Structure 1
Amino acid sequence: MDKLYVRDLEVFAFHGVFEEEKKLGQKFLISLELTLDLKKPGRTGDLNASVHYGELSQKVEKEFNKISYDLIETACNKISEFVLLKYPLVKEIKVSVKKPWAPIHRNLDTVEVEITRKRSRAVLSLGSNLGNKEENLKKAIEIIDEHSLCKVLKTSSFIRTEPWGYTEQDEFLNCAIEIETILAPNELMEFLLETEQKLKRERVIKWGPRTIDIDIIFMDDIVSNDEHVILPHPRMHQRLFVLEPVNEICPFYLHPLINKRVFELLEIAKETH
């Protein structure tokens, strides 16, 4: 993928822990590394197919001065989110903020924080078998879509399925959605757990009845063994109630470990059930 750079944009702002920093302000140097596809503007000269770096610099300076933060880590993160939300063409951004006048009473060139953030695609599986199942699913999808750093791209139909694991319970209503998000996997998982709590999810029996269940099935081609968020979902290829709705919206998604596409996993799962 191609790159666009803005290096050491000089901005006067009021970030810092000390009161003097917030009152007097100081110089900061902001650098941006944008990852995006520049083939079309390179061939056609169409500025709308790229990012106007002059406009970008002005907008970043304005955003950087909106709020006074204690930490340049926070300011750096806010800039990365701002650019990804403002410029859909940008797939990934690396932002660095230098603080050459850092008040630490030592000789130094600069203090610098660097943050990388990216735009990701994730596939989620949703299920409900308590209360108004359809409303539970719709409300969960609405909450996800209303998050400032998430956008629902595709939604499958709702399908009725028999319970899996613990069978002494009512049938489920299941669906799948594909989202675009700027959240990292652990941040997305935290948000989904909060969403379950909002919809009164109670974890009493493993695989038991629930108002809502939301699982991350895929997130880009990430493979993670973090206990908090295992990717891809370790049992998705065994579950028809996951595979069938996922197959509706992204049949060609490639499982990064099994090396088979969703439609192939569905065919195999049907043969073994």
Structure 2
Amino acid sequence: MDIIRINELEVYAYHGVYADEREKGQFFYVNADLYVDTRKAGMTDDLNYSVNYGTVCEFIADFMKNNTYNLIETAAEQLAQALLLEFKPVKSLLLEVRKPSAPIALEFGSVSVEIVRGWHEAYIAFGSNMGDREKYIDDALAAVGKLPQIEIEAISDKIVTAPYGNVEQEDFLNGVIKVKTLLPAEELLQILQQIEQHAGRKREIHWGPRTLDLDILFYDDEIIATNNLVVPHPDMKNREFVLKPLMQIAPYKVHPVYHKTIKDMYDELR
């Protein structure tokens, strides 16, 4: 990916743990590497296909001046998110907020925080087999779509499927969405669980009936195994109700563990 680089942008702002810093202010310096595909702009000489670095600098300056945080960690985090939401061609960024006048009683050059943030691709399975199944799903997708850190890019058809496992229950309505998100995988999981809880989801019977089920199938090409989250979803290769809707929106997505496309996995399961 190409880089648009901004070095040592000087901004007078009011961030700091101490009240004196937030009242009197001090100079901060911002460095930003914006990862953008500049090929089309370079071939056409048209700024509409790139990002105007002058506009980005003004945005950074306004953001740093108009917001006040105790920590430069917070200033960097919030500025990174604001930049990614405002300038859509930016896929990711490396951002440094430098504080040369930090209140340290020693000789030093400066202190800074440097972070890397960007958009991630995720696939999320949805399902319901209690009450008004379609409404539970539609409400959940609407809730996901309202979050500024998540953009829904594709939605499969809703398909009726027989229940999975040995629990006798009603048929499910299932499908999959593709999203891009600024959230780390664990934070995305927390958001999805909150939406499930709002729909009255209760985790009482394994593979049992539920008002709403939202599962992260893929998160970029990462392999994640924590106490709360396993990605890719460990049993998806055996689930037609996952693979069939995935076939609609991502047939050639490659599973990072099995190194097979969704189409290959679906054909093998059938």
TM-score > 0.5 by shorter chain:
yes
In structure 1, C-alpha distance between the alignment counterparts of 2:53 and 2:41, rounded to whole Å? 13
- 1:28-74 CA distances to partner (integer Å, 9 max, x unpaired)? 11110111111112222111111111111001111122221111111
| Structure 1 residue 210 displacement after superposition | 0.9
Instruction: Report SS of the residue matched to 1:55.
Output: helix
- Cross-structure match for 2:119: 119
- Cross-structure match for 1:58: 58
Q: Is the 8 A contact 1:166 1:206 kept in 2?
A: no
Q: Is 1:232 the counterpart of 2:232 in the alignment? A: yes
Unaligned runs of 5+ in 1: none
| Structure 1 residue 166 displacement after superposition | 3.6
Instruction: Report SS of the residue matched to 2:164.
Output: coil
| Structure 1 residue 148 displacement after superposition | 1.0
| Structure 1 residue 226 displacement after superposition | 2.4
- Cross-structure match for 2:146: 146
- Cross-structure match for 2:221: 221
* Amino acid across the alignment from 1:61: A
Count of equivalent residues: 270
Runs of 4+ in 1 over 6 A off after TM superposition: none
In structure 1, C-alpha distance between the alignment counterparts of 2:145 and 2:167, rounded to whole Å? 31
Identity of counterpart residues, as a percentage? 37
In structure 1, C-alpha distance between the alignment counterparts of 2:175 and 2:66, rounded to whole Å? 40
- Cross-structure match for 1:206: 206
- Cross-structure match for 2:79: 79
Instruction: Report SS of the residue matched to 1:151.
Output: strand
Instruction: Report SS of the residue matched to 2:98.
Output: strand
- Cross-structure match for 1:12: 12
Q: 219-228 vs 141-150, which deviates more?
A: 219-228
Q: Is 1:89 the counterpart of 2:86 in the alignment? A: no
- Cross-structure match for 1:130: 130
| Structure 1 residue 122 displacement after superposition | 0.8
Instruction: Report SS of the residue matched to 1:204.
Output: coil
| Structure 1 residue 96 displacement after superposition | 0.6
* Amino acid across the alignment from 2:191: F
**TM-score of the aligned structures, taking structure 1 as reference length:** 0.96
- Cross-structure match for 2:104: 104
- Cross-structure match for 1:245: 245
In structure 2, C-alpha distance between the alignment counterparts of 1:77 and 1:252, rounded to whole Å? 34
**TM-score of the aligned structures, taking structure 2 as reference length:** 0.97
- Cross-structure match for 2:159: 159
Q: Cα RMSD between the aligned structures?
A: 1.1
- 1:64-97 CA distances to partner (integer Å, 9 max, x unpaired)? 2222111111110111111111111111111110
* Amino acid across the alignment from 1:11: V
Instruction: Report SS of the residue matched to 2:255.
Output: coil
Instruction: Report SS of the residue matched to 2:95.
Output: strand
| Structure 1 residue 7 displacement after superposition | 1.0
